[in-house]
Amino acid sequence: MNGQWTIDNMPDMNGKRVLITGGSGGLGLETAYGFAQKGAEIVLAVRNMEKGRQAADGLLEKFPQASVEVMRLDLADLSSIEAFAAGFIGKYDALHVLVNNAGVMIPPYGKTKDGFELQFGSNHLGHFALTGRLLPLLLRTTGARVVTLSSIAAKSGYIYFNNLDGRLGYSAMKFYGQSKLANLLFARELQKRLSAVGANTISVACHPGVSNTNLISRGSGKQAGRAVSFIWGLMSQSAAMGALPTLYASTENLYGGEYIGPTGKGGRKGYPGFDLSVDHKMNEDTMAKLWRASEELTGVTYDFSRAENEEWARLNIRM
Protein backbone atom coordinates (compact mmCIF):
# COMPACT_ATOMS: atom_id res chain seq x y z
CA MET A 1 0.00 0.00 0.00
CA ASN A 2 1.27 3.45 -0.88
CA GLY A 3 0.63 6.38 1.44
CA GLN A 4 0.58 6.83 5.18
CA TRP A 5 -1.72 4.26 6.77
CA THR A 6 -2.73 5.20 10.33
CA ILE A 7 -5.32 4.26 12.94
CA ASP A 8 -7.71 6.60 11.12
CA ASN A 9 -7.76 4.06 8.28
CA MET A 10 -8.99 1.27 10.55
CA PRO A 11 -12.61 0.14 10.22
CA ASP A 12 -15.06 0.36 13.09
CA MET A 13 -14.42 -2.52 15.49
CA ASN A 14 -17.58 -2.41 17.57
CA GLY A 15 -18.80 -5.94 18.22
CA LYS A 16 -15.34 -7.42 17.57
CA ARG A 17 -13.33 -9.21 20.25
CA VAL A 18 -9.52 -8.98 20.18
CA LEU A 19 -7.10 -11.03 22.28
CA ILE A 20 -3.58 -9.57 22.64
CA THR A 21 -0.77 -11.52 24.28
CA GLY A 22 1.71 -9.36 26.17
CA GLY A 23 -0.76 -6.50 26.24
CA SER A 24 0.46 -4.88 29.46
CA GLY A 25 3.09 -2.67 27.82
CA GLY A 26 5.08 -1.80 24.72
CA LEU A 27 3.69 -2.80 21.35
CA GLY A 28 0.91 -4.86 22.87
CA LEU A 29 -0.47 -1.94 24.84
CA GLU A 30 -0.13 0.44 21.87
CA THR A 31 -2.00 -2.11 19.79
CA ALA A 32 -4.71 -2.22 22.44
CA TYR A 33 -4.99 1.59 22.31
CA GLY A 34 -5.63 1.38 18.57
CA PHE A 35 -8.34 -1.23 18.95
CA ALA A 36 -9.94 0.62 21.87
CA GLN A 37 -10.09 3.80 19.80
CA LYS A 38 -12.14 1.89 17.23
CA GLY A 39 -14.50 0.29 19.73
CA ALA A 40 -13.21 -3.28 19.95
CA GLU A 41 -13.68 -5.46 23.01
CA ILE A 42 -10.16 -6.17 24.26
CA VAL A 43 -8.73 -9.03 26.28
CA LEU A 44 -5.19 -8.56 27.55
CA ALA A 45 -3.40 -11.86 28.14
CA VAL A 46 -0.55 -11.10 30.52
CA ARG A 47 1.92 -12.88 32.77
CA ASN A 48 1.92 -10.15 35.43
CA MET A 49 -1.65 -9.43 36.51
CA GLU A 50 -0.74 -6.28 38.41
CA LYS A 51 0.84 -4.75 35.31
CA GLY A 52 -2.11 -5.99 33.27
CA ARG A 53 -4.62 -4.26 35.52
CA GLN A 54 -2.58 -1.05 35.41
CA ALA A 55 -2.60 -1.25 31.60
CA ALA A 56 -6.36 -1.80 31.62
CA ASP A 57 -6.85 1.18 33.93
CA GLY A 58 -4.79 3.32 31.54
CA LEU A 59 -6.90 2.18 28.60
CA LEU A 60 -10.13 2.99 30.41
CA GLU A 61 -8.80 6.36 31.47
CA LYS A 62 -8.07 7.23 27.86
CA PHE A 63 -11.15 5.49 26.43
CA PRO A 64 -13.82 5.39 29.17
CA GLN A 65 -16.28 3.47 26.98
CA ALA A 66 -13.79 0.70 26.21
CA SER A 67 -14.38 -2.92 27.18
CA VAL A 68 -11.18 -4.37 28.64
CA GLU A 69 -10.60 -7.71 30.36
CA VAL A 70 -7.32 -8.97 31.86
CA MET A 71 -6.50 -12.67 31.98
CA ARG A 72 -3.36 -14.40 33.16
CA LEU A 73 -1.24 -16.26 30.60
CA ASP A 74 2.36 -17.46 30.85
CA LEU A 75 3.59 -18.45 27.39
CA ALA A 76 6.61 -20.13 28.97
CA ASP A 77 4.34 -22.70 30.65
CA LEU A 78 2.25 -25.14 28.59
CA SER A 79 -0.07 -25.85 31.52
CA SER A 80 -0.81 -22.12 31.83
CA ILE A 81 -1.60 -21.97 28.11
CA GLU A 82 -3.96 -24.94 28.37
CA ALA A 83 -5.75 -23.44 31.39
CA PHE A 84 -5.99 -20.02 29.75
CA ALA A 85 -7.47 -21.41 26.53
CA ALA A 86 -10.00 -23.53 28.41
CA GLY A 87 -11.04 -20.51 30.47
CA PHE A 88 -11.27 -18.27 27.42
CA ILE A 89 -13.36 -20.71 25.40
CA GLY A 90 -15.59 -21.28 28.41
CA LYS A 91 -16.19 -17.55 28.81
CA TYR A 92 -16.40 -16.26 25.24
CA ASP A 93 -18.37 -17.45 22.22
CA ALA A 94 -16.23 -15.73 19.56
CA LEU A 95 -12.70 -14.48 18.89
CA HIS A 96 -12.30 -12.16 15.92
CA VAL A 97 -8.59 -11.34 16.18
CA LEU A 98 -5.84 -13.21 18.01
CA VAL A 99 -2.70 -11.08 18.20
CA ASN A 100 0.34 -13.23 19.02
CA ASN A 101 2.41 -10.29 20.25
CA ALA A 102 4.25 -11.23 23.45
CA GLY A 103 7.93 -12.04 23.32
CA VAL A 104 11.34 -11.92 24.94
CA MET A 105 14.45 -10.61 23.22
CA ILE A 106 18.09 -11.67 23.67
CA PRO A 107 17.96 -12.76 27.32
CA PRO A 108 20.76 -14.75 28.96
CA TYR A 109 20.37 -18.48 28.38
CA GLY A 110 17.32 -19.83 30.17
CA LYS A 111 14.56 -22.37 29.83
CA THR A 112 10.79 -22.38 30.06
CA LYS A 113 8.96 -24.43 32.66
CA ASP A 114 8.77 -27.28 30.15
CA GLY A 115 12.49 -27.22 29.37
CA PHE A 116 12.47 -25.30 26.07
CA GLU A 117 15.03 -22.61 25.30
CA LEU A 118 13.37 -19.44 26.57
CA GLN A 119 13.07 -17.47 23.32
CA PHE A 120 12.02 -20.35 21.07
CA GLY A 121 9.77 -21.69 23.82
CA SER A 122 8.02 -18.41 24.64
CA ASN A 123 8.03 -16.57 21.32
CA HIS A 124 7.17 -19.50 19.07
CA LEU A 125 6.10 -22.66 20.90
CA GLY A 126 3.95 -20.78 23.37
CA HIS A 127 2.03 -19.04 20.59
CA PHE A 128 1.85 -22.24 18.55
CA ALA A 129 0.21 -24.00 21.50
CA LEU A 130 -2.09 -21.07 22.28
CA THR A 131 -3.31 -20.72 18.69
CA GLY A 132 -3.91 -24.45 18.40
CA ARG A 133 -5.96 -24.56 21.58
CA LEU A 134 -8.01 -21.51 20.52
CA LEU A 135 -8.49 -22.78 16.96
CA PRO A 136 -12.01 -24.19 17.52
CA LEU A 137 -13.19 -20.76 18.64
CA LEU A 138 -11.43 -19.01 15.76
CA LEU A 139 -12.93 -21.38 13.19
CA ARG A 140 -16.46 -20.73 14.35
CA THR A 141 -16.00 -16.94 14.34
CA THR A 142 -16.82 -15.50 10.92
CA GLY A 143 -13.87 -13.62 9.43
CA ALA A 144 -11.48 -14.38 12.28
CA ARG A 145 -7.76 -13.92 11.86
CA VAL A 146 -4.52 -14.80 13.61
CA VAL A 147 -1.84 -12.09 13.56
CA THR A 148 1.64 -13.23 14.58
CA LEU A 149 4.48 -10.81 15.23
CA SER A 150 7.86 -11.56 13.74
CA SER A 151 10.86 -9.23 13.50
CA ILE A 152 13.40 -7.90 11.04
CA ALA A 153 15.72 -10.34 12.84
CA ALA A 154 13.93 -13.09 10.91
CA LYS A 155 15.88 -12.03 7.82
CA SER A 156 19.06 -13.51 9.29
CA GLY A 157 17.28 -16.23 11.26
CA TYR A 158 17.86 -19.96 10.90
CA ILE A 159 16.04 -22.91 12.48
CA TYR A 160 18.55 -25.03 14.40
CA PHE A 161 16.61 -28.27 14.33
CA ASN A 162 19.50 -30.17 15.93
CA ASN A 163 19.83 -27.62 18.75
CA LEU A 164 16.41 -26.11 19.44
CA ASP A 165 17.00 -26.15 23.20
CA GLY A 166 20.49 -24.62 23.02
CA ARG A 167 22.20 -27.59 24.65
CA LEU A 168 24.93 -27.59 21.97
CA GLY A 169 25.62 -23.88 22.36
CA TYR A 170 23.68 -20.67 22.70
CA SER A 171 23.85 -17.22 21.13
CA ALA A 172 21.16 -14.84 22.39
CA MET A 173 20.85 -12.97 19.10
CA LYS A 174 20.93 -16.07 16.90
CA PHE A 175 18.27 -17.76 18.99
CA TYR A 176 16.16 -14.60 18.93
CA GLY A 177 16.40 -14.66 15.12
CA GLN A 178 15.44 -18.33 15.16
CA SER A 179 12.34 -17.64 17.26
CA LYS A 180 11.19 -14.77 15.05
CA LEU A 181 11.77 -16.74 11.85
CA ALA A 182 9.75 -19.52 13.48
CA ASN A 183 6.92 -17.01 14.08
CA LEU A 184 6.97 -16.09 10.41
CA LEU A 185 7.13 -19.69 9.16
CA PHE A 186 4.32 -20.65 11.54
CA ALA A 187 2.08 -17.86 10.27
CA ARG A 188 2.61 -18.87 6.64
CA GLU A 189 2.19 -22.61 7.30
CA LEU A 190 -0.97 -21.93 9.30
CA GLN A 191 -2.40 -20.00 6.36
CA LYS A 192 -1.51 -22.86 4.04
CA ARG A 193 -3.39 -25.33 6.22
CA LEU A 194 -6.38 -23.02 6.69
CA SER A 195 -6.62 -22.52 2.93
CA ALA A 196 -6.42 -26.28 2.33
CA VAL A 197 -9.66 -26.84 4.27
CA GLY A 198 -11.46 -23.76 2.97
CA ALA A 199 -11.48 -22.03 6.36
CA ASN A 200 -12.85 -18.52 6.71
CA THR A 201 -10.11 -17.75 9.24
CA ILE A 202 -6.85 -16.29 7.91
CA SER A 203 -3.29 -16.02 9.25
CA VAL A 204 -1.12 -12.92 8.73
CA ALA A 205 2.38 -12.06 9.95
CA CYS A 206 3.80 -8.64 10.73
CA HIS A 207 6.78 -6.93 12.31
CA PRO A 208 7.25 -3.55 14.01
CA GLY A 209 10.58 -2.56 12.50
CA VAL A 210 12.91 -1.10 15.11
CA SER A 211 10.58 0.19 17.81
CA ASN A 212 11.29 1.69 21.19
CA THR A 213 9.82 -0.86 23.62
CA ASN A 214 10.81 -2.67 26.81
CA LEU A 215 12.14 -5.64 24.81
CA ILE A 216 15.63 -4.19 25.23
CA SER A 217 15.42 -5.13 28.91
CA ARG A 218 16.40 -8.62 27.67
CA GLY A 219 13.42 -10.32 29.23
CA SER A 220 14.14 -9.05 32.74
CA GLY A 221 11.06 -6.82 32.93
CA LYS A 222 13.29 -4.00 34.18
CA GLN A 223 14.11 -0.72 32.50
CA ALA A 224 17.25 -0.74 30.36
CA GLY A 225 20.19 1.45 31.35
CA ARG A 226 20.26 5.12 30.36
CA ALA A 227 23.00 4.70 27.76
CA VAL A 228 21.27 1.74 26.08
CA SER A 229 17.90 3.51 26.18
CA PHE A 230 19.39 6.67 24.64
CA ILE A 231 21.08 4.82 21.77
CA TRP A 232 17.99 2.68 21.18
CA GLY A 233 15.85 5.80 21.13
CA LEU A 234 17.98 7.29 18.35
CA MET A 235 17.77 4.13 16.26
CA SER A 236 14.10 3.33 16.73
CA GLN A 237 10.63 4.67 16.07
CA SER A 238 7.92 5.05 18.69
CA ALA A 239 5.94 2.09 19.98
CA ALA A 240 2.83 3.77 18.55
CA MET A 241 4.35 3.67 15.05
CA GLY A 242 5.62 0.14 15.67
CA ALA A 243 2.08 -1.00 16.45
CA LEU A 244 0.68 0.16 13.11
CA PRO A 245 1.75 -2.96 11.17
CA THR A 246 -0.11 -5.11 13.72
CA LEU A 247 -3.25 -2.99 13.40
CA TYR A 248 -2.97 -3.06 9.61
CA ALA A 249 -2.51 -6.85 9.60
CA SER A 250 -5.47 -7.22 11.95
CA THR A 251 -8.00 -5.09 10.08
CA GLU A 252 -7.13 -4.49 6.42
CA ASN A 253 -8.74 -6.52 3.63
CA LEU A 254 -6.13 -9.27 3.20
CA TYR A 255 -6.14 -12.78 1.76
CA GLY A 256 -3.92 -14.41 4.40
CA GLY A 257 -0.22 -15.24 4.32
CA GLU A 258 0.93 -11.63 3.93
CA TYR A 259 3.84 -10.13 5.87
CA ILE A 260 3.28 -6.53 6.97
CA GLY A 261 5.95 -4.13 8.21
CA PRO A 262 7.26 -0.56 8.06
CA THR A 263 7.97 0.59 4.51
CA GLY A 264 10.99 2.78 5.29
CA LYS A 265 14.60 1.87 4.47
CA GLY A 266 15.44 -1.66 5.58
CA GLY A 267 11.97 -2.05 7.06
CA ARG A 268 13.19 -0.31 10.21
CA LYS A 269 10.76 2.62 10.36
CA GLY A 270 7.75 4.07 8.60
CA TYR A 271 4.12 3.46 7.83
CA PRO A 272 2.93 -0.11 7.22
CA GLY A 273 2.78 -1.98 3.95
CA PHE A 274 3.76 -5.31 2.40
CA ASP A 275 7.21 -6.70 3.22
CA LEU A 276 8.53 -9.12 0.58
CA SER A 277 12.11 -9.18 1.86
CA VAL A 278 11.80 -12.59 3.53
CA ASP A 279 9.98 -14.47 0.79
CA HIS A 280 13.17 -16.46 0.17
CA LYS A 281 12.84 -17.84 3.71
CA MET A 282 9.46 -19.44 2.97
CA ASN A 283 10.80 -22.95 2.33
CA GLU A 284 7.95 -25.45 2.23
CA ASP A 285 10.00 -28.30 3.72
CA THR A 286 11.27 -26.15 6.57
CA MET A 287 7.77 -24.88 7.33
CA ALA A 288 6.37 -28.42 7.47
CA LYS A 289 9.30 -29.71 9.54
CA LEU A 290 8.91 -26.86 12.05
CA TRP A 291 5.19 -27.57 12.33
CA ARG A 292 5.82 -31.26 13.08
CA ALA A 293 8.51 -30.41 15.64
CA SER A 294 6.19 -27.88 17.29
CA GLU A 295 3.40 -30.45 17.59
CA GLU A 296 5.78 -33.00 19.09
CA LEU A 297 7.28 -30.57 21.59
CA THR A 298 4.02 -28.98 22.76
CA GLY A 299 1.71 -31.96 22.44
CA VAL A 300 -0.77 -29.68 20.66
CA THR A 301 -2.22 -30.77 17.32
CA TYR A 302 -4.50 -28.59 15.23
CA ASP A 303 -8.03 -29.79 14.51
CA PHE A 304 -9.30 -28.27 11.26
CA SER A 305 -12.32 -30.59 11.08
CA ARG A 306 -14.86 -27.84 11.79
CA ALA A 307 -13.59 -25.83 8.81
CA GLU A 308 -13.67 -28.93 6.59
CA ASN A 309 -17.26 -29.72 7.62
CA GLU A 310 -18.40 -26.16 6.97
CA GLU A 311 -16.73 -26.13 3.54
CA TRP A 312 -18.43 -29.42 2.69
CA ALA A 313 -21.78 -27.93 3.72
CA ARG A 314 -21.20 -24.88 1.51
CA LEU A 315 -20.32 -27.09 -1.46
CA ASN A 316 -23.49 -29.16 -0.98
CA ILE A 317 -25.61 -26.01 -0.78
CA ARG A 318 -24.16 -24.74 -4.09
CA MET A 319 -24.75 -28.15 -5.71
Active-site residue (options: 33, 176, 259, 302): 176
- Look at residue 188 in the predicted model and tell me its pLDDT: 98
Q: Model's pTM, two decimal places?
A: 0.91
Query: What mean pLDDT, rounded, does the chain reach?
Result: 91
- Look at residue 309 in the predicted model and tell me its pLDDT: 64
Alpha-helical runs (H) found in the chain: 26-37, 49-62, 78-91, 118-119, 126-139, 172-196, 226-235, 239-251, 284-298, 305-318
Whether residue 204 is predicted with pLDDT greater than 50 in this model: the reply is: yes
Q: Give the pLDDT band of residue 230 (cuts 50, 70, 90).
A: very low
Measure the CA angle with vertex 77, ends 174 and 251; round to 5°. Answer: 75
Whether residue 312 is predicted with pLDDT greater than 60 in this model: the reply is: no
Q: Give the pLDDT band of residue 310 (cuts 50, 70, 90).
A: low
Whether residue 218 is predicted with pLDDT greater than 60 in this model: the reply is: no
Whether residue 229 is predicted with pLDDT greater than 50 in this model: the reply is: no
Q: CA nearest 124: which of 180, 206, 190, 194? A: 180
C-alpha count within 13 angstroms, C-beta hemisphere, residue 270: 16
- Radius of gyration of the CA atoms of the chain, in A: 18
pLDDT tens sequence across 35-88: 999 999 999 999 999 999 999 999 999 999 999 999 999 999 999 999 999 999
Q: Is 176 a catalytic residue?
A: yes
Mean pLDDT of 97-121: 98
Domains of the chain are: 15-318 (3.40.50.720)
Secondary structure element (H or E) that encloses residue 210, with its range: none
Secondary structure element (H or E) that encloses residue 140, with its range: none
Whether residue 112 is predicted with pLDDT greater than 50 in this model: the reply is: yes
Q: Give the pLDDT band of residue 154 (cuts 50, 70, 90).
A: very high
SS in 3 state form for 47-61? CCHHHHHHHHHHHHH
